[in-house]
Structure 1
Amino acid sequence: MAIINDLNSPEVRRKLEHRLRAAFPGGDMLRITDLEVPPSGLSFQTLKLTVEREIDGRTSRQKLVARVEPLPGAGIFREYDLEREVRVLQALQGSRVPVPRIHFYEAEPTVLGAPFAVMEHLPGRAPADSPSYMRQGWVLDLSPDQRRCIWTNALRVVADLHAVDWEGLGLDWLARPELGLTPVDQQIAYYEWTQAWGSAGHANPTVDATFVWLKANRPSDPEPVVLAWGDAKPGNMLYADNLTVAGALDFEMAALASPELDLGWWLFAHRYHAATLEGGTVPSGILSREEVIDGYQEMSGHEVRHAFFYEVLGGLRVAVLADRGYRMMMAAGLLPPDHAAPANNAATQALAAMLDLPAPDGINDIHEFEAPSS
């Protein structure tokens, strides 16, 4: 069953209501009154539900969110494991990291055609990745002081995540020793494996050269190991009206790694969005690269020693996922089959400039790529 095609069918709603009744026992009635499928990127599908229940003659309504795993081979990652993300979110309950509460995880595909999890709906709004929040949207309506407040609060959530006792929470299973001896070796190996699959054997000179650079320049000194988000950036958080962080989302790339893995991803995301601006002038109040590094060091107590390396690694990860994402678009007929976007895009252009590599070849008329994790 293809979830996107069949979501609004009476049969799917009936099955979903039946599963929800099992998860929320009691009461005289439960029905879905609203089912919304927001625009998504090239990874997990998100559904927004409103459930109406009647208990002892009183009617209540509850908003929920369902996160649905892509079908095999249908996303930007070679492998998906929603249960893995669910276990991370459950472990973080009660911590200083404001993650949504998981109501249940359903491994069987009989309801929605794939495994899915239903979680609480957190209020708040997130900066959009596409079009970039630096170009349009509600972030630009804020004052510089308000933007600084949001960015500072978001950075504090990252520091709070890294302070979590992952061993005490039983998250040691997140390690991937089969991929390498150290967390950074594991990250490089994982994305090499992903690139070999996602590119379908096509050349990507910038990505290949970046892998060579990363292997030659990886940190040699011991690094602390923390629970890393893997996708740490302001756009993966929900903000309340008072500008505090109401929710931290999208932990599909969570890993045990250096805290600078998240810092580098954040820094490259900033570079990526800034590149979409004419003249490159970032809206005032959004923390600069130096302010992010200094702020993180102050909040976490960790001395940042390899920011540029991990920023390059962040760019490499984006470029690998963009390669796969553009090839998905080409396969779907959304781009010409000979389009240059997989090898020549904002991520590879940034990496080439950072590492003094030859500029990617080919004409690319796409100015922005929707963030893979959105």
Structure 2
Amino acid sequence: MSDPADSALDTAALSSFLDREVGPADSLDVTGEGGGYSNETLFVTWGDRELVVRRPPPDETADTAHDVLREYRILDALQGTAVPVAPTVASCDDESILGAPFYVMDRVAGDVIYTEEPERFATPTRREALADAFVDALVAVHDVDYDAVGLVAGDFGYPEGYLERQVERFQEAVIWAVDTTSEEREVPELYEVGSWLAENVPGESDHALVHGDYKLDNVMFAPDDEPHIAGVFDWEMSTLGDPLADLGYALHFWPDEMAPDGGTDVVADERFAPSFLAHGDYPTRTEFVARYERRSGREFENRRFYLALAAFKMAALGEMFYARYLRGGVDDPMYERMGEGVPAQAERALAIIDGEWTV
């Protein structure tokens, strides 16, 4: 992520806002979080209080995928539920303060796991507990009574037809991207996968709050020795829909030494599917699904569709990243790697469709 100074952060305006909403303090310190591909995350020390400010990237404030006020609404609604989320503080739609809408939440202590396994978790029982906590938090998301917490169907989201809209959305993303990327190379498999998905949309399992981007680096583990999730983050893609789409997506990023390719994420890099999860102490994808089914009461039917949808979603997003790189708007090696990563991901989706890659 860009340095806060490069984002023209108005610290005086932020100080005034925090003074009104949080209370007075004698100091303000702001630092940025690197490595993000969605909303900006700013770590703010306001006196002796540790806060987080979330706002859209400076050049993408109109993109609905970065609707921070909607994200705040979700986090605020989930306060007091079984879903672990950071305590919310305030939101603001006045763009004159920070140049875009933003919200503030308390900073949660712990570790976000990218490529390295925390040493304190490197035992058989704690590895199993880490995986159990990860699965159970997903079940907790899907168990939320969304109407009761104010995320009302027809207002917050439209659960009926979720899968069809997902397929259409990412087909449209591919079409948008290939207008640029086809000048470098063609990926006809993307059209083949999209067509298969459109023709094989199953009846939805049921309707639930879905996270939309549930993977290991979007949760934070508390600093305790025993694995415990302190917060689930990055709710930009959350809506109401089919919970099995979340399950298929989470499995996409869960390496498994029994899988044909080892289960690594060929679209980006290891931070999205850390190879240590393939260690024998961690559950396989089959065991992951079994725990989800047992805890949620749902059966993971139509697996090929949900797994292929996850692969197609990542391929489509990757193609958009590659288009942005080719257009010169992004200086990030990960975006450049999409040139080879997307074709490989499309092949993975076809392997799923052909029954060669599953759980």
> Which of residues 153, 163, 175 is equivalent to 2:133?
153
| Distance in 2 (alpha carbons) for counterparts of 1:63 and 1:279 | 32
- Residue 362 of structure 1 corresponds to none
Percent identity (aligned): 24
Letter of the 2:254 counterpart: H
- Residue 351 of structure 2 corresponds to 353
Aligned-residue Cα RMSD (Å) equals 3.1
> Which of residues 16, 19, 22 is equivalent to 1:18?
16
Relative to 1, partners in 2 of residues 1:116 and 1:199: Cα closer, same or farther, differing over 3 Å?
farther
- Residue 30 of structure 2 corresponds to 35
Deviation per CA, 1:253-296: give whole Å up to 9, x if none: 11211110110001111255366699999122222110111000
SS in 1 for 2:57: coil
Tell me how many residue pairs correspond in the alignment.
332
Contact 2:61 2:100 in 1 (8 A): no
Contact 1:324 1:342 in 2 (8 A): no
> Which of residues 186, 207, 210 is equivalent to 2:190?
207
| Distance in 1 (alpha carbons) for counterparts of 2:61 and 2:177 | 11
Letter of the 2:125 counterpart: D
Letter of the 1:233 counterpart: K
SS in 1 for 2:10: helix
1:95, distance to aligned residue in structure 2 (A): 0.2
Relative to 1, partners in 2 of residues 1:292 and 1:333: Cα closer, same or farther, differing over 3 Å?
closer
Deviation per CA, 1:156-198: give whole Å up to 9, x if none: 0111111111122232123248xxx611112112222333334
| Distance in 1 (alpha carbons) for counterparts of 2:274 and 2:86 | 37
Letter of the 1:226 counterpart: A
Relative to 1, partners in 2 of residues 1:310 and 1:333: Cα closer, same or farther, differing over 3 Å?
closer
Deviation per CA, 1:284-332: give whole Å up to 9, x if none: 2222110111000110111221223111111111111111122323324
Stretches of structure 2 lacking an aligned partner (at least 5 in a row): 256-262
- Residue 45 of structure 2 corresponds to 50
Contact 1:49 1:65 in 2 (8 A): yes
Stretches of structure 1 lacking an aligned partner (at least 5 in a row): 53-60, 358-374
TM-score by length of 1: 0.79
| Distance in 2 (alpha carbons) for counterparts of 1:89 and 1:281 | 28
User: Aligned ranges for residues 1-374 of structure 1 at < 5 Å?
Assistant: 4=3, 6=5, 12-25=10-23, 27=24, 29-32=25-28, 34-52=29-47, 61-71=48-58, 73=60, 79-128=65-114, 133=115, 136-138=116-118, 142-171=122-151, 172=153, 173-176=155-158, 182-200=161-179, 202-203=181-182, 204-219=187-202, 221-240=203-222, 241=224, 242-271=226-255, 273=264, 282-330=278-326, 331-332=328-329, 334=331, 341-342=338-339, 344-345=341-342, 346-356=344-354
1:213, distance to aligned residue in structure 2 (A): 1.2
Contact 1:274 1:280 in 2 (8 A): no
Contact 1:154 1:234 in 2 (8 A): yes
